[in-house]
Amino acid sequence: MIIESKQNERVKQWKKLHKRKNRDADGYLLVEGWHLVEEVFHSNWSIKELIVKEATTLPKEYDDIKQFYVTDAVFRELSQTETNQGIIAVAEKPNYQVDAQTTQKVLCLDGIQDPGNLGTIMRSALAFQIDLIVLGTGTVDPFNDKVIRATQGAIFQVPFVQGDLTDWLTELKKNDIPIWATALDERAQPLPHVSARDQYAIIVGNEGSGVSKTVIDQADETLYIPIAEQSESLNVGVAASIVLYHFQQ
């Protein structure tokens, strides 16, 4: 059976997942495109069902997942890309159980708002073996379709939690994790002068205003990346990647 109507109740429920409030309420999100569906399939996340455009052939490895075929018009109603690939997974949002006492390498994000930046940061966090990402208040929803695509699948591999950064930093301090904030204050050290280590928490901040003063005040040290005088600043995704690369040496 092929779902042909955009007014079908199941289609309406799927389309609601385009909005954050409904993803939060239902606990599910849409993952679109062959590469990302493959990535989520091979991760520890759970796929509830697959939405498939008519005449699309699925690999046999997906046989055990509930599948719903829809017309091209219905699929275009659900797709969030300009050129769709005919497959969407309805995935369950993960609930990572994190023990702050055993977490060694943490990346804290203070109000990152651009989906592309968050995606880049998640890719770098995976590449440089971060144990946990903490998405502080004001940070873009990681289950946003643009974020998921920007991560290129990294979101399915690196644990992350959402919450108040001050609470998390307090817990990290209890476990003697040194905390570094990226900032240009009077005590900031240039990154090349900072020694790499096995335990750390790094804080990067909002694209326009950087790390908030309240959060900086909780850091043990601050650091900055030296750049040419004629360059005003670095993109936060690039800056986070440079710092993470340095700390994993």
30 pLDDT tier (thresholds 50, 70, 90): very high
Q: Please state the pTM of the whole predicted model.
A: 0.94
**Eight-state DSSP code of residue 134:** E
Same structural domain, 143 and 202:
yes
Of 121, 123, 125, 233, nearest in space to 183 by CA: 233
Same structural domain, 85 and 145:
no
Same structural domain, 123 and 240:
yes
Which residue is it, tokens 């004001």?
138
103 pLDDT tier (thresholds 50, 70, 90): confident
Looking at residue 3, what is its pLDDT? Answer: 97
97 pLDDT tier (thresholds 50, 70, 90): confident
Contact 110, 205 (CB under 8 A): yes
Of 158, 108, 115, 159, nearest in space to 136 by CA: 108
Same structural domain, 86 and 10:
yes
Tokens encoding 210: 């950087």
Answer yes or no: is 98 within a domain.
Answer: no
Question: Coil, strand or helix: which one is 230?
Answer: coil
Q: Which of 38, 71, 92 is the last residue of a domain?
A: 92
Looking at residue 38, what is its pLDDT? Answer: 98
Contact 112, 208 (CB under 8 A): no
Answer yes or no: is 97 within a domain.
Answer: no
Of 46, 93, 45, 92, nearest in space to 65 by CA: 46
Same structural domain, 152 and 238:
yes
Sign of the Cα torsion 167, 169, 173, 175 reads positive
What mean pLDDT do residues 123-140 have?
Answer: 96
Q: Which residues pair with 52 in a beta bridge?
A: 69, 87
62 pLDDT tier (thresholds 50, 70, 90): very high
Q: Which domain holds residue 163?
A: 105-247
Domain count, the chain: 2
Q: Which residues pair with 53 in a beta bridge?
A: 70
pLDDT at 188 over 90: yes
Q: Which of 92, 126, 153 is the last residue of a domain?
A: 92
Question: Coil, strand or helix: which one is 167?
Answer: helix
**CATH number of the domain bearing residue 67:** 3.30.1330.30
Q: How far is CA 86 from CA 41, 69, 114, 162, 166, in A?
A: 16, 10, 27, 31, 42
**CATH number of the domain bearing residue 127:** 3.40.1280.10
Q: Which of 92, 125, 153 is the last residue of a domain?
A: 92
Looking at residue 197, what is its pLDDT? Answer: 83
99 pLDDT tier (thresholds 50, 70, 90): confident
Same structural domain, 218 and 112:
yes
How many CA atoms does the CB half-sphere of 87 hold within 13 Å?
22
pLDDT single digits (tens) 190-235: 999 999 888 999 999 999 999 999 999 999 999 999 999 899 889 9
pLDDT at 31 over 80: yes
Contact 168, 158 (CB under 8 A): no
